[in-house]
């Protein structure tokens, strides 16, 4: 089964209630993550990956590829030339990284499950660690997305 593991690394000093979408997506909730499938993994342990933005973008990549029998989507990391390449072929997806020799191959269904779980987990962890974020209108939109899944 494909898994996306992550850890937060930032110590938040921003007023989370008034944070705008840019701050929420790119400046807060930084960390590291690992994409895993069986004995293979793509390690992204940079401590500065904007995890909320990654979760939102990964969900968007899944949605775009789900409407195609085959296709290619990329995620480019900010302030870096590193990227992840998602290549769908019928019911399989390959995930490769410009910074790693590792490639993950999984079913598109497993990718869907892992993507949605990752998104929900990130949202829920942010809520647990920052209870006052429920008052942030932008974050409320993201929270509503988890309820539609």
Going by pLDDT thresholds of 50, 70 and 90, the confidence category of residue 6 is very high
Q: List CB contacts of 6: < 8 A, sequence separation 6 or more.
A: 31, 32, 33, 34, 51, 118, 121, 122
Give the count of alpha carbons within 13 A of 8, CB side only: 16
- Measured CA angle at 63 (ends 74, 128), to 5 deg: 90
**pLDDT over threshold 90, residue 148:** no
Q: What pLDDT, on the 0 to 100 scale, is given for residue 10? A: 66
Q: What pLDDT, on the 0 to 100 scale, is given for residue 89? A: 94
- Could you read off the pLDDT of 88-102 as tens digits, one per residue? 999 999 999 999 999
Domains and CATH numbers, the chain: 2-148 (3.30.2450)
How far apart, in whole angstroms, are the C-alpha atoms of residue 50 and residue 14? 15
State the average pLDDT over residues 134-140: 91
Quote the pTM value: 0.93
**pLDDT over threshold 70, residue 11:** no
């Amino acid at each position: 089964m494909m898994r996306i593991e992550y850890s937060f690394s930032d110590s938040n000093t921003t007023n989370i209630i008034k944070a705008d979408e840019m701050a929420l997506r790119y400046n807060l909730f930084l960390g590291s993550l690992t994409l895993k499938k069986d004995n293979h993994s793509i390690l992204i342990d940079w401590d500065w990956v904007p995890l909320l933005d990654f979760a939102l973008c990964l969900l968007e990549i899944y949605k775009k590829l789900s409407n195609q029998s085959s296709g290619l989507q990329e995620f480019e990391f900010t302030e870096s030339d590193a990227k992840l390449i998602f290549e769908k072929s019928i019911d399989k997806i390959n995930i490769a990284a410009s910074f790693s020799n590792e490639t993950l191959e999984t079913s598109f269904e497993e990718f869907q499950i892992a993507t949605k779980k990752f998104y929900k987990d990130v949202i829920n962890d942010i809520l647990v660690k920052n209870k006052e974020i429920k008052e942030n209108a932008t974050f409320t939109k993201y929270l509503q997305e988890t309820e539609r899944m």
